Amino acid sequence: MTVEEIMREALTLDVETRASIAHELLSSLESLSDAEVERLWIAEAKRRSADVKAGRAQTLSAHESLARARANR
């Protein structure tokens, strides 16, 4: 079963069951080592960089980003 199939099936479950699964999955991440967390962050940074270079991600200037953050207070 693929991740997409598991996700599709999980989303058909009732809210309490989905919450329980989400809790278990999040709890499982708390036991990651610092090295594993660092590896995952590096992989995420590389993925985001590739998305920007390929034009799949929209970027904002620092000025616009701060303006949006202040507007959402």
Sign, CA torsion 34/35/38/40 = negative
Domain spans in the chain, listed from the N-terminal domain onward: 1-31, 33-73
Q: What is the mean pLDDT of the chain?
A: 95
73 pLDDT band (50/70/90 cuts)? confident
Query: Average of pLDDT values for 35-63?
Result: 96
Furthest-apart CA pair in the chain: how many Å? Answer: 44
